[in-house]
Structure 1
Amino acid sequence: LSRHMKIHLGGEKPYKCVDCEKEFTHPGSLRTHMITHNGNPSLKCNICGRQCVRQSHLENHMRIHTGERPFTCNNCNKSFSLLSSLKTHMTVHTGLKLLTCSLCCKQFNRPCNLEAHMRMHSGVKPYICTECGKRFPHFGSLKIHMEKH
C-alpha cells in the first residue's frame, strides 16, 4: 500500500517503457503503451502518427485534431470530447462527492482533486520551478509563481 500511495502522492511512475523511456504509474498503462510500438499499423493517426490499441481509441484521439466535442452537458451546455469527461463533469452539478480523504474525511468529486489534497498531508511537492528550484504541491501554485518571475 505504501508503494502504491507513492504513485498518487509523489507522482512516482515506476513502470518504464524499454523502447522510448516513457514512464507510467500502472503496469496496465505500460502494457497498453507497448502495443503502440508493435501494434496494428492500421490503427495509426494519419495526422500525428500516434498508434492506438483499439479503433475506438483512435476515434477518440482524432477529436484532438478535429476539435469535435460530441458530448454536451444539459445543465450548462459545456461540451466534451469524451463521454467519461462529461460524466466526471456532471458531479459539479449534482454535488455528488464519492471520494473521501482517509486522514481528515474531506470529500471530493474527482480523483485528481483527492490526489492533490493528499499532497497537503504528505508534504510532497512534485512541481519544480525551472528558474529558482522552488517546489510546489500543485501545478496551479507553480504557474502563479512562474508568472511573477
Structure 2
Amino acid sequence: MKKLLKCADCRKGFRSASQLKIHRRIHIGEKPFTCSVCGKGFARSFNLVSHQQVHTEDRPFKCSDCEKRFKSKGGLIQHQQVHTDERPFECSDCEKSFKNFGGLIQHQQVHNEERPFKCSVCRKRFKSSGGLVQHKQVHSEERPFKCTDCGKCFKSNEGLIQHEQVH
C-alpha cells in the first residue's frame, strides 16, 4: 500500500506530489489559471473551463420537465429541485426545511444578530446584501416604480403598492 502525502495545513492525504501541489493552491491563494474575458483567477484549470460558460450564450443542459436550459450541469441539477416537494436542507434551530443549501444559509441569518452588510452613507447594518441594496434606495433620487394610472413615481415597490390603493 502506497503512503499518502499529507497537506501541512489541513492534513488531507494525497496519492501523488502533483495532487498535493494543486491542493496547496487553496491554502496559499495561488490562482494560475485566469479567464481571458473577465480576469477572474482559478486554482484548477477545470474550474476555469467551467467558469468560461458564463461568457457564452450556450446552454446545453435542458430540463426534461419544463424545457428550461442551463449553462452547467450543476445549474440544471439545482433547478430540478423546483419540480419536487423534496426539501432536504433542514435548519437545526427551527426545523424549517429548504430545497437548496443557499435557501438554508439565507434563512439561518434570522437566528443570529450578525449584520455584516453596512450602508456607506448612514452606517445602518443589514443581515443580507439584498436588504442593503433595497435600503440604499432611500439615499437615491431615483424613483423606478411608476404608477400606471397617474404616472407618479416611487423609490420602492412598497410605496407604489400603498399609493395604488388610492386609485
Say yes or no: TM over 0.5.
yes
* Alignment counterpart, residue 129 of structure 1, candidates 60, 74, 91: 91
The 2-side partners of 1:100 and 1:73 are apart by 26
Q: Which residue identity is paired with 1:135?
A: S
Question: What do you get for the CA RMSD once the two structures are aligned?
Answer: 1.5
Give CA deviations for 1:99-125 in whole Å, capped at 9, x if unaligned.
Answer: 111111111112221111111112221
2:3 matched to which residue of 1?
A: 40
The 2-side partners of 1:39 and 1:135 are apart by 43
Q: Which residue identity is paired with 1:139?
A: F
* Alignment counterpart, residue 54 of structure 2, candidates 92, 103, 107: 92
* TM-score, normalised via structure 1 length: 0.68
The 1-side partners of 2:8 and 2:103 are apart by 37
Identity percentage of aligned residues:
38
Provide structure 1 residue ranges, at least 5 long, that are not aligned to the other structure. Answer: 1-37
**C-alpha deviation, 1:148, in angstroms:** 1.8
* TM-score, normalised via structure 2 length: 0.61
Deviates further, 70-79 or 120-129: 120-129
Deviates further, 57-66 or 45-54: 45-54
Q: Measured at CA, do residues 111 and 54 of structure 1 come closer, stay the same or move farther in structure 2, by a change above 3 Å?
A: farther
Q: Which residue identity is paired with 2:53?
A: T
**C-alpha deviation, 1:49, in angstroms:** 1.9
**C-alpha deviation, 1:64, in angstroms:** 1.2
1:145 matched to which residue of 2?
A: 107
Provide structure 2 residue ranges, at least 5 long, that are not aligned to the other structure. Answer: 112-167
**C-alpha deviation, 1:47, in angstroms:** 2.7
Q: Which residue identity is paired with 1:130?
A: S
* Alignment counterpart, residue 54 of structure 1, candidates 6, 13, 16: 16
Q: Which residue identity is paired with 1:116?
A: Q
Aligned to 2:83, what secondary structure does the other structure show? Answer: helix
Say which one has the larger Rg.
Answer: 2
Q: Measured at CA, do residues 98 and 128 of structure 1 come closer, stay the same or move farther in structure 2, by a change above 3 Å?
A: same
Give CA deviations for 1:71-103 in whole Å, capped at 9, x if unaligned.
Answer: 111111111111111111100001221111111
- Identify, as 1 or 2, the structure richer in helix: 1
**C-alpha deviation, 1:57, in angstroms:** 1.9
Aligned to 2:14, what secondary structure does the other structure show? Answer: coil
The 2-side partners of 1:54 and 1:100 are apart by 37
1:22 matched to which residue of 2?
A: none
Aligned to 1:88, what secondary structure does the other structure show? Answer: helix
Aligned to 1:103, what secondary structure does the other structure show? Answer: coil
Q: Which residue identity is paired with 2:45?
A: L
